[in-house]
Amino acid sequence: MRRFAQAIADTESLPAGLPASLARTLAAGPDHYNIAKGGVATVLARDHDGSIAVADMVWGLVPRWSKEPATPYTTVTARLERAPRSRIYAQAWAQRPCVLPMTGYYKWDRARRPPWPLFVQRKDGRVLLAAGLWEHWESEDGQQLDSFTVLTGPNHAIPAPLTPDGPIFIAPAAALDWLSGAFKTPAALNARATTPALEAYAVSRAFRDPARDDYTLLEPVDPDAAAATAEPPQWDGDAWDERDADE
């Protein structure tokens, strides 16, 4: 998972069970169809007083001990089983769970030649909730950054021919428990993980262009016909053969 969409049309698009105030705030947010590393997304997280809040954060967790507001390694995803003992994620695991609402995400179908991007979403069209971790970074001169990562692991609900591995999805009740700090181990979170029925369909490779962010990126395409078209004139290195490294 290296790109995702967050375009919540209304509160009816969200799975039932979230507090109404959170659902309204999420639905009122701007639509984004091409969020990549370093992009800003809306997440659910605990506020300083322990309440659940909606916050905008940068995708790609920056640990608080980092000297710079960036990392030389990829931190957009973190393996669930390794996160609690990881130098990068351990403190966030212990103190800062978050939930990422997403319309769906892009994933390469590597069974095709050439590989082709598919968009993965719920069959019923509702929003997916993915478990994540967030961190607050601050420099000595007062510069601040809130960033997040998405927890990943084996997920056999992801439709073939895609590899059965991806975000840890949770239902609203489990999401609220996760945000409250109820799950202390990866096994505890895994036991509550539930993936609704998913579907995946071919989309244009145009999402590789960082300047593109519109609903047409989600329109279905015929890969055989589209393969003859030129590559986007500008792209950010998200090549078809990039592997989904987790840490």
pTM of the shown model: 0.91
Across the chain, what does the average pLDDT equal? 91
What pLDDT score was predicted for residue 236?
A: 47
What pLDDT score was predicted for residue 224?
A: 82
pLDDT at residue 97 above 80?
A: yes
What pLDDT score was predicted for residue 24?
A: 96
Rounded Cα–Cα distance for residues 127 and 93 (Å): 24
| Mean pLDDT value across residues 113-141 | 95
Q: Which residues pair with 28 in a beta bridge?
A: none
pLDDT at residue 231 above 80?
A: no
pLDDT at residue 123 above 70?
A: yes
Band (pLDDT 50/70/90 cuts) for residue 228 is low
What pLDDT score was predicted for residue 113?
A: 85
What pLDDT score was predicted for residue 48?
A: 82
What pLDDT score was predicted for residue 195?
A: 94
Q: Which long-range contacts does 37-44 make (Cβ < 8 Å, 24+ apart)?
A: 37/2, 37/74, 37/76, 41/4, 41/6, 41/100, 41/148, 42/6, 42/101, 43/98, 43/99, 43/100, 43/101, 43/132, 43/134, 43/148, 44/98, 44/99, 44/100, 44/101, 44/175, 44/179
> Do the beta carbons of residue 27 and residue 9 sit within 8 Å?
yes
pLDDT at residue 50 above 50?
A: yes
Give tens-digit pLDDT for 58-88.
Answer: 999 999 999 999 888 899 999 999 999 999 9
Name the pairing type of β-strands 52-59 and 144-154: parallel
Give tens-digit pLDDT for 1-30.
Answer: 899 999 999 999 999 999 999 999 999 999
pLDDT at residue 233 above 70?
A: no
Band (pLDDT 50/70/90 cuts) for residue 240 is very low
Q: Give me the percent of the chain exceeding a pLDDT of 90.
A: 79
pLDDT at residue 173 above 80?
A: yes
What pLDDT score was predicted for residue 142?
A: 86
Band (pLDDT 50/70/90 cuts) for residue 229 is low
